[in-house]
Amino acid sequence: MKIRTLDEQTINQIAAGEVIENPASVVKELVENAVDSGASQVKVEIFGGGFQSITVSDNGSGMSRDDALLCFMRHATSKIQKVEDLSDLSTMGFRGEALSSIAAISKITLTTSYEAAGIKLEVEAGRVLSIDPAPRVKGSSIEVRSLFYNVPARKKFQKSASASSAEITKLMTFLSLAYPEIGLTLWHQDKRVFDFCASENRQEEMLVRAKTLLSHDFVEDIHVIAHKQESCEVMGFVASPLKVRVNRSGQYLFVNRRVVVCPIFSYAVRDAFSTRIEKDRHPLFVLHCTIAPHLIDVNVHPQKKEIRLKEEKYTKNSIQLAVEKALEKRSGNQLSASIPISYGHHENPFWTKEVPSGILYDSLPESKQESFIENTLEVIGLFSHYLFLYPQSALLKILDAKETIAMIGVDLYAAESKILFDEMRRTEEPKGSQTLLLPDTLSFSKAESEGILSILDELHQLGLRLHPIGESAFLVEAIPEFMKQDQVRDLMLECLQGSKEQGNRKYAAILCRWVRKNKQPFSQERALRLVEQLLCLPDPLFCPLGKRTISCITKGQIDDWFK
């Protein structure tokens, strides 16, 4: 096949694939353009999850007729002029790719006014169809319609409209916390999600927005961060060490007002908490880091999600020190920098029946359970979540070993995942739910709430019965039989984090992750009962994700250790 030069339309669609993943990518690029234009008010309106239309309006500087025509051309930008400018960036955008990428896969109406009368451009698939005078005050409005209409292969792999709406709300939550000095408004289907005014006091406004957007457990006991060093300033807040999560979903990080993912910063905050939280738990925080532009490189990711640091160790130490100082500011039992927020009196619910920790083992009569445990399985030892047994006939039959087996090991986490998944799969209806005598109320951020609404069927399948109350809270009426009340939030967030898998494998991934993150202590009796249940299942050797539940150590392997 001969090498040939691609046409301009194909080039633009390929470039759009790198910059624009979904409707949320469009919102991000347009809002950041509005911020760069000097806007103090930005309004975002979406219909159909952003696939039908996205409109972003601002009161920024606007564009002249010539600039409006140029803005849809690839690599046309007002942010930089030469390569040296890349080392001292102070704007969100700089490549001149966003508008051309969006225009290549949608239909656009741009209305803008600079100093003279306003103009309106109609653009389709990257081509300017018309340009006419239009009344408008200073600023710009850009409406993006029919996203991915000319790339059906891309559209086929997009999420549903409701999932896309939740993703946009999550993004706008980040952007609202990133730019507390700018007024931001978000509308979904003619319904206002939030409306924030501009403020000169960034720290105070950030707290106001956090109270509105983030969950109650995040903001009811906040420790304020305010720390400045020579080339690094850190501000924001962390939640109480008592309020942690099993994943990083409650971490909001901004570097020079840019939303980024940078594990180094998360590790720095985690190290500052030290022994205040468990090793596998993650603190909640909103963190703004202002670093000299020449010390960071933002030109490493198509969507500018990642950065590189030139003084990595220095920056990590600065963040760790800032968080440590915030946590240590105490007066008696209360941090002097804490901001308690009252949400009214709340009682823990009572169970309709007593539930032991871990899985319920009432499928066999007690006498049979005792007989099986006492007479069949002989324990060598229990180490962490591994149970080691002497080889017995029941286990040897399953393993079908061809060599002499010295001992058998059971991964108790994998075994528990297998049991839970098999129980869930045996029936189309949820099984083993516990009804709460007094329903419990759980609060989440607005973005998390929208996400949970989109996965209610999955939660129901796992044994959770709940329904929304208000804008960002849920009333939990029943929970899975295998868990305790204080584990419900973690399971919901684990489901919300989701999996790339589909169908049964998605539920399997959620259960396996949840079991390992919400560690339950294993007594010898509990471990043996797990093995008992496991051996009653079809194909007990593997967990739902295909990992071994039972393995053997042969005499030959032990002989090899001592050669």
**3-class DSSP state of 424:** helix
pLDDT recorded at residue 294: 80
Helix or strand holding residue 273 (H, E): helix 263-273
Contact yes or no for 296/309 (Cβ under 8 A): yes
pLDDT recorded at residue 474: 92
Instruction: Give Cα 15 to chain centroid, integer Å.
Output: 26
pLDDT recorded at residue 99: 87
**Within this chain, domains 8-80+96-196 and 374-562 share the same CATH topology:** no
Specify the fold of 214-329.
Ribosomal Protein S5; domain 2 (3.30.230)
Q: Which two tokens stand for residue 426?
A: 């045996």
Q: Is 528 exposed, middle or buried (0-12, 13-18, 19+ CB in 10 A)?
A: buried
pLDDT recorded at residue 349: 34
CATH number for 8-80+96-196: choose from 3.65.10.10, 3.40.50.300, 3.30.565.10, 3.90.245.10. Answer: 3.30.565.10
**Alpha-carbon distances, residue 367 vs 362, 363, 537 (angstroms):** 11, 12, 20
Question: Strand runs (DSSP E) across 370-512, as ranges?
Answer: 379-383, 386-389, 405-411, 433-443, 465-469, 473-480
* Helix (H) and strand (E) counts in the chain: 19, 27
pLDDT recorded at residue 421: 81
Task: Work out whether the CA dihedral 191, 183, 76, 29 comes out positive or negative.
Answer: negative
pLDDT recorded at residue 561: 87
The structural architecture, per CATH, of the domain 374-562 is 2-Layer Sandwich (3.30)
Contact yes or no for 290/256 (Cβ under 8 A): yes
What is the rounded distance in angstroms from the CA atom of residue 57 to the CA atom of residue 194?
15
Q: Which residues contact 481 (CB under 8 A, 6 or more apart)?
A: 355, 360, 431, 432, 433, 434, 463
Tell me the pairing of strands 405-411 and 550-554.
antiparallel
pLDDT recorded at residue 300: 61
Tell me the pairing of strands 41-47 and 183-188.
parallel
Q: What is the DSSP annotation of 316-337? A: HHHHHHHHHHHHH-EETTEETT
Give residue for tokens 């305790």: 484
Q: Which residues contact 7 (CB under 8 A, 6 or more apart)?
A: none
What is the rounded distance in angstroms from the CA atom of residue 488 to the CA atom of residue 413?
18
Nearest to 258 by CA among 231, 297, 201, 228: 297
pLDDT recorded at residue 12: 62
**Low-confidence residues of the chain, pLDDT below 70?**
6, 8-19, 75-96, 275, 298-305, 330-376, 394, 400-403, 425-432, 482, 498-506, 518-519
The conformation of residue 357, written as its DSSP 8-state character, comes to S
Nearest to 453 by CA among 115, 188, 156, 202: 188
Q: Where are the domains of the chain?
A: 8-80+96-196, 214-329, 374-562
Nearest to 138 by CA among 64, 33, 66: 64
φ, ψ for residue 497, nearest 5 deg: -60, -35
